[in-house]
A and B are shown apart, each in its own frame.
Chain A
Amino acid sequence: MADIAASSGARGKPAIRLSLNDPTFRAIFWQIVVVGIIGLILWYLISNTLHNLEVRKIATGWGFLSREAGFAIGETAIEYGPENSYGRAIVVGILNTLRVAIIGIVLATILGTFVGIGRLSKNWLIAKVCSVYVEFMRNLPLLVQLFFWWALFQDAFPGPRQALEPITGFFFSNRGIKMPIPAEHWIHAWMGVAFLIGVAASFYVKHWAAARQAATGEQFPVLYAALGLILGLPFVVWLIGGAPVAMDWPALRGFNFQGGLTLTPEFAALLVGLVTYTAGFIAEIVRAGILAVPHGQTEAASALGIRRGKMLQLVILPQALRVIVPPMTSQYLNLTKNSSLAVAIGYPDLVSIANTTLNQTGQAIEGIAIIMAAYLTVSLSISLFMNWYNKRIAFKER
């Protein structure tokens, strides 16, 4: 390779000959041919589609997004009613998908990590229970599991008038789990601000402590300080606001409970299904990551006199994470995309609402395009974030 480059460089840039024997021309020629064929196929598909839509008088365009939707949605994160537009209905769907995906990713990671570590436990019972869990969850189709949880939530709990109340204010019925929440008060917004300030201050404390330890060798209890800041600041604000204790209690009125916070059976079934299923895969990834760190690292750390907790934090986990993060990204993407199975159990996610929209308007191509664009955006965002994180924790060769 180097020889050819050197010799052609010595003779100056050779002229491109219009022959397939000329490597440069050949490369460009075939690229043009391939691009041309792909272009022709695309042109054929698009023109044929438009032609057929035109012939069959099927409506096209995006105008329907601003038309009144006319249908109601059971769970909405933002204000929504049948008088709102299709566009807003789809936003409600996207938010519902994001809600289950984000909570699901957090919970699946926690559960999966525990099970993965549990499978490595020296305790025979814990290790076996975790093994059975992993094999069970990984090897049953997700849709079957979702139907199982859905049927369980629906049939195992009584109707709202006979709801179970294990703790005062918490009602379990086939309409979901109802719980009291603090009644609306202006101080809540300020408590949120205080919480964010607490988080920012914690980061500052962490940096300061690291710098101080590097300079003086003295350690600082960062964890307790951070907890104090993150929880303590909002608490102080709450006290300043007059410590409002009024709660919004759920109460049975008419057919159902009014007030309080609701966890619907559809959301609960979907969340539990996604979390337990994905946690099975995550557990194996975590186990693989930990096993990938050679035992010599542990021994070397003990030889240096590092405590067990610190050892895990400073030696084992940073190396394990390098193995864990890339496949974990795939699992996060899977969980997000699997949430579209919600349509089978009636949780109003993006697919469910976009399906209804395309059915009411008849604009299937636009509806599917919205679904694809939304999932692509969410998935690429997760990928980008995880790649950034992966780069951050990657082994830095100096």
Chain B
Amino acid sequence: MKALASAIAAAAVAVAALPAQAQQGSGSPTLDAVKARGQLICGANGSVAGFGMPNARGEWTGLDVDVCRAVAAAVFGDATKVRYVATTAQQRFTALQSGEIDLLVRNTTWTLSRDTSLGLDFLATNFYDGQGFMVKKSLNVKSAKELNGATICVQPGTTTELNLADYFRANNIRFTPVVIERLEENIAAYLAGRCDSFTTDVSGLASIRAANTPVPADHVILPEVISKEPLGPSVRHGDAKWGDIVKWAFFATLEAEELGLTSANIDSQMNSTNPSIQRFVGATGGLGQMLGLDNKWAYNIIKQVGNYGEQYERNIKPLGIERGVNNLWTKGGLMYAPPLR
């Protein structure tokens, strides 16, 4: 009797103690988990060429994927230590909240409500985008304002879905949405003629036109850009240290472009007398230690992944999208990294 009661009491205490596990190590539960696992788990898109998609050899490539690779290079010194999880627009936040992924880089728009109520933190903008419309050339539509009464394919759970409704309300015109969760089926519906127009970020439209349509020239992207879509990586709220690592891993790729460091020339710049470059490659300053990483963190990123300009050339240029606002601030764009010092 007594033994039973004490056993139950012990069980109750053990259960109550579970949530409050002792936290030791780097002070970042995510970094500790990533290091213990020996691998970063990165939530990516999976079906948008240029941002996140496996290539013909099964290797993940894209501008978003390069953020994951940069973080892995910074943490492990090896950009290949990443496992990618393809997420849909609807699953992505839950995957991050529940800890299934360490980092979400899935052309996700930074908005106030997402930053505050979803339990995640946006860190930076790795691509400045805006929402547009793609239509078949044969429809002879020249402007989004002519889309009154059109049927429009859109993905659920996106800012796109909300902007679309806002835009048509603001212009007092009507539309019928066709909402399909998986991008592949959504594109198929557009191509089959179920929808008159497909809407998403302009970069996404360019990617779909280049990679998914049988004859890209049969489709036009309308001139209107109806929203601001700053796309960027996000992490779980409450792990600021992990957020710092992701944020500065991305800023390092911008800084490298500004300093003229590329994957090709960084080895020869190791002994440069430029103090900024010395700090960058880890010869002085101890910046890596401040992040809780190796001092060669930034060198590893540039050596293995390349600077932002290289990433852009490799991933986005083939889609036919010019640098534009995504150029460095010194060249008239918006890409601006705080100083690495």
Contact = CB atoms under 8 A, between A and B. Distances in A.
Interface of A: 20, 33, 36-37, 40-41, 44, 47-48, 51, 53, 55-59, 70-74, 81-83, 151, 154-155, 159, 174-175, 253-256, 258, 265-266, 343-346, 348, 352, 355-356, 359-364
Interface stretch (B87-95, B272-280, B316-324, B325-333): B87-95
Counting from the closest, the 4 A-B pairs by CB-CB distance are A359-B157, A56-B119, A58-B119, A82-B165
A74 B188 CA distance: 18
Contact of B149 (A82, A174, A256, A343): A256
Contacts of A175: 151, 194
Interface stretch (B68-76, B176-184, B296-304): B176-184
A50 to B, nearest CB: 10
A159 B193 contact: yes
A82 B169 contact: yes
A253 B120 CA distance: 46
Residue in B89, B113, B169, B176 with the greatest tally of chain A CB atoms within 10 Å: B176
Given A58-B119, A343-B181, A71 B151 contact: no
Nearest to A47: B19
Contact of B185 (A265, A346, A360): A346
Contacts of B156: 71, 352, 355-356, 359
Contacts, number: 142
Contacts of A55: 238
A116 B310 CA distance: 66
B165 A72 contact: yes
Which label, helix, strand, loop or mixed, suits the secondary structure of the B interface?
A: mixed
Given A256-B151, A356-B90, A362 B118 contact: yes
A72 B179 CA distance: 9
B22 interface: no
Given A44-B15, A174-B193, A255-B196, A57 B165 contact: no
Interface in B259-289: none
Contact of B162 (A56, A159, A255, A360): A360
A83 B165 CA distance: 9
B181 A355 contact: yes
B86 interface: no
Contacts of A265: 194
Contact of B151 (A36, A70, A255, A352): A255
Given A48-B19, A174-B193, A348-B179, A70 B119 contact: no
Interface of B: 1, 4, 8, 11-12, 15-16, 18-19, 89-90, 93-94, 97, 113-114, 116-120, 139, 147-151, 156-157, 161-162, 164-166, 168-169, 175-182, 185-186, 188-189, 192-194, 196, 236-238
Contacts of A33: 4, 8
A40 B12 contact: yes
Nearest to A355: B90
Contacts of A82: 162, 165-166, 169
A151 B177 CA distance: 18
Contact of B237 (A44, A56, A174, A359): A56
Contact of A154 (B89, B118, B177, B194): B194
A255 B169 CA distance: 18
Contact of A40 (B15, B118, B168, B238): B15
A59 B118 CA distance: 7
A258 B237 contact: no
A174 B236 CA distance: 43
A71 B237 contact: no
B149 A255 contact: yes
A159 B196 CA distance: 10
Nearest to B4: A33
A126 B117 CA distance: 60
A355 B181 CA distance: 10
Nearest to A362: B118
Contacts of A71: 156, 161-162, 165, 177
A265 B185 CA distance: 14
Nearest to A147: B185
A20 B177 contact: no
A81 B139 CA distance: 27
B93 A346 contact: no
A231 B262 CA distance: 82
Contact of B179 (A37, A41, A48, A352): A352
B103 to A, nearest CB: 15
11 contacts: A41-B15, A57-B119, A71-B165, A74-B176, A151-B192, A265-B194, A344-B182, A356-B161, A356-B179, A359-B156, A361-B117
Given A73-B177, A74-B179, A174 B192 contact: yes
A20 B2 CA distance: 12
Given A44-B18, A355-B90, A360-B162, A74 B177 contact: yes
A20 B179 contact: no
Contact of B176 (A41, A256, A343, A360): A256
A321 B156 CA distance: 44
A358 B186 CA distance: 20
Given A352-B156, A355-B90, A346 B236 contact: no
A363 B188 CA distance: 30
B97 A56 contact: yes
Residue in A33, A56, A159, A255 with the greatest tally of chain B CB atoms within 10 Å: A255
Nearest to A82: B165
B93 to A, nearest CB: 6
